[in-house]
Amino acid sequence: METTEVQIHRGLRGIYIDNTQASFIDGNVGKLLYRGYDIHELAEKSTFEETMYLLLHGQLPTRAQLSAFDAELRAARPIPAEVIQIIRLVQRAHPMDVLRTAVSALAAFDPDVTNESPEAILRKGIRLTAQAATVVAAHERIRHGLDPVPPDPSLNHAGNFLYLLRGKRPDPEEAKTMDVDFIIHAEHSSNASAFAARVTASTLSDLHSAIVTGIGTLKGPLHGGAAEKVMEMAEAIGQPERAEEYVRETLKSHGRIMGFGHAVYKAEDPRARHLRDRSKVLGEKRGEPQWFQILTVLEQKAMVPYRARGIYVNVDFFAGSVYHLLGIPSDLFISIFAMGRIPGWTLQVMEQQAHNMLLRPLLNYTGPMDLPYVPMDQRR
Ligand code: CMC
């Protein structure tokens, strides 16, 4: 039998599936642009609301445009009482499972659920970004026996999230840290969750389904779960003097050092630096400098030999310590990543559907062929 040789691209590495105007990544030099703008400029000078507008509309807003966009985002924060009820019913689940379930339930109450016009996807993306913060915070309070706090329309997205979570207003520095975190997580090209969201969108399914797909895909420890694992690692290490030994032992048993390495970046992930300083300053302010010290030994000593193999810190490395220092429990870390990423997923869905083609790769079958069907009583 004649066989044609099949070329397998495991993990789809190096394969371009389409063009995009969302973000540009040069993994060799650690460069990231959203819609042409450098992530460093956005992290230092922009706000989450402005960056989200930039992503969804393709250009920086005027003052009036930003004000209208922000008002829409603030107005969309409340979630239906039925969804709060669902959160109560599933409160013991992992926060990502609760977020996934609540986003799915929100579809039932969304006035645009069956409307997949670009304008409707945009409206739904804005609503879901605002509502996701309310869901995550409401769940955190409910599972601790507290009632959810109503959103505060006088606070920006990041400040309101921290307020909903803790029931008291954050100080401006904390709110800015959260804002920067949301900016740097907002979009990242065809990573696993955005690709998964595109696959769902390519069937002409709806935005809520695509975001649910994204949330489910982000949950894994090789993607969004790393920040939580970094903090667990820092806690297991306990003190800076033990960091090098921890790395030696982990690598000896073929384990991975969480927060290091990236499928695309073979230089430092440009997003990491924006949480590095904040981790240091927040740690000193909170009287917990040890986390930054442990992370610094890992980055500056123990993992230095791995730079030659392109293994540097990624965005999650300092994120875990920053969230911990903001008083956020570790099982909420991935949900925060997801909240920040909803604008990126929404944009990718819009791009996918703007000139859609069903995403349908092939699998090369390597199993047996043409087996005779054996009746049950003749099987051994
Ligand atoms: N610790 C130890 N070794 C590593 C690490 C690490 N963190 N990352 C990669 N390597 C080694 C790996 O063992 C392998 O070695 P060998 O060739 O000897 O088998 C080699 O590098 C290539 O690994 P790979 O998994 O094939 O490479 P990848 O480019 O697909 O890895 C990664 C990307 C993120 C899955 C991986 O670096 C990893 O597991 N990192 C830890 C988890 C993590 O921090 N994830 C967050 C990613 S950033 C947030 C996001 O965008 O999702």
Q: Which atom of ligand 1 is nearest to the CA of 264?
A: 29
The verdict on 172 and 237 lying in the same domain is no
The verdict on 230 and 186 lying in the same domain is no
Mapped to the 3 state alphabet, what secondary structure does 13-79 carry?
A: CCCCCCCCCCEEEECCCCEEEECCEEHHHHHHHCCHHHHHHHHHHCCCCCHHHHHHHHHHHHHCCCC
C-alpha span between 274 and 256 (Å, rounded): 23
Q: Is residue 8 part of a domain?
A: no
Residue identifier of the C-alpha nearest atom 39 of ligand 1: 222
The verdict on 132 and 197 lying in the same domain is yes
C-alpha span between 60 and 49 (Å, rounded): 11
Q: Determine which one of 157, 208, 262, 324 is catalytic.
A: 262
Ligand 1 centroid distance, CA of 268 (Å): 13
Ligand 1 centroid distance, CA of 314 (Å): 10
Three-state SS for 18? coil
Q: What is the mean pLDDT of residues 172-191?
A: 97
Question: Residue 291 maps to which CATH number?
Answer: 1.10.230.10
**What is the value of pTM for the model shown?**
0.94
pLDDT score at 3: 60
pLDDT at 2 exceeding the cut of 70: no
Structural domains in the chain (count): 2
Q: Is 260 in the pocket of ligand 1 (CB under 6 A)?
A: yes
C-alpha span between 121 and 363 (Å, rounded): 32
Torsion of CA 56, 219, 75, 325, to 10 degrees: -110
The verdict on 87 and 146 lying in the same domain is yes
Q: Is residue 366 part of a domain?
A: no
Give the CA count within 13 Å in the CB-facing half-sphere of 118.
11
The verdict on 98 and 139 lying in the same domain is yes
The verdict on 261 and 134 lying in the same domain is no
Q: Is 315 in the pocket of ligand 1 (CB under 6 A)?
A: yes
Containing structural domain, residue 70: 23-220+334-354
Active site residue 274: no
Ligand 1 centroid distance, CA of 243 (Å): 19
pLDDT score at 1: 52
Active site residue 223: yes
DSSP 170: P
Q: Which atom of ligand 1 is nearest to the CA of 309?
A: 21
Q: Determine which one of 110, 112, 269, 316 is catalytic.
A: 316
C-alpha span between 355 and 149 (Å, rounded): 41
pLDDT digits (tens, 9 = 90+) for 73-96: 999 999 999 999 999 999 999 999
Q: What is the mean pLDDT of residues 352-363?
A: 96
The 10 Å Cβ neighbour count of residue 249 is: 11
Q: Is residue 377 part of a domain?
A: no
Active site residue 262: yes
pLDDT at 4 exceeding the cut of 80: no
Report the mean per-residue pLDDT for the chain.
96
Q: What is the mean pLDDT of residues 177-185?
A: 97
Q: Is 344 in the pocket of ligand 1 (CB under 6 A)?
A: no
Q: Is 12 in the pocket of ligand 1 (CB under 6 A)?
A: no
Q: Is residue 360 part of a domain?
A: no
pLDDT score at 340: 98
The verdict on 193 and 49 lying in the same domain is yes
pLDDT digits (tens, 9 = 90+) for 32-87: 999 999 999 999 999 999 999 999 999 999 999 999 999 999 999 999 999 999 99
pLDDT digits (tens, 9 = 90+) for 270-326: 999 999 999 999 999 999 999 999 999 999 999 999 999 999 999 999 999 999 999
Contact 226, 218 (CB under 8 A): no
**Token pair in block for residue 202:** 């390519």
